[in-house]
Amino acid sequence: MSARTHTRPHPAPRGGADTRLPWWALALPTLAFVALLTLILNPADAHATVGEPALTHLVERAQQLIAR
């Protein structure tokens, strides 16, 4: 009596489920990155709120460190 071996009729899929992303999954992070990059490159457009001097000081210090 011979032993039966089980063979797969097709190779196993490598990607699993459908890996397509919706358009907004790339558009929203890209938009956020561009907005933050714009604020860093042109800090004159970013107005600090009145009443939070600690935050303003922190932002100014970060800009000084980046400028070096």
Residue 30 confidence (pLDDT): 94
Mean pLDDT score, 47-68: 75
Residue 27 confidence (pLDDT): 92
Q: Which of 64, 60, 33, 65 is nearest to 46 (CA)?
A: 60
Other beta carbons within 10 Å of 59:
15
Determine the Cα–Cα distance for residues 56 and 68; give it in Å rounded to an integer.
19
Q: For the segment 1-51, what is each residue's pLDDT rounded down to a tens digit?
A: 566 676 666 666 565 566 788 988 999 999 999 988 888 887 666 565 556
Residue 13 confidence (pLDDT): 59
Residue 31 confidence (pLDDT): 93
Determine the Cα–Cα distance for residues 50 and 52; give it in Å rounded to an integer.
6
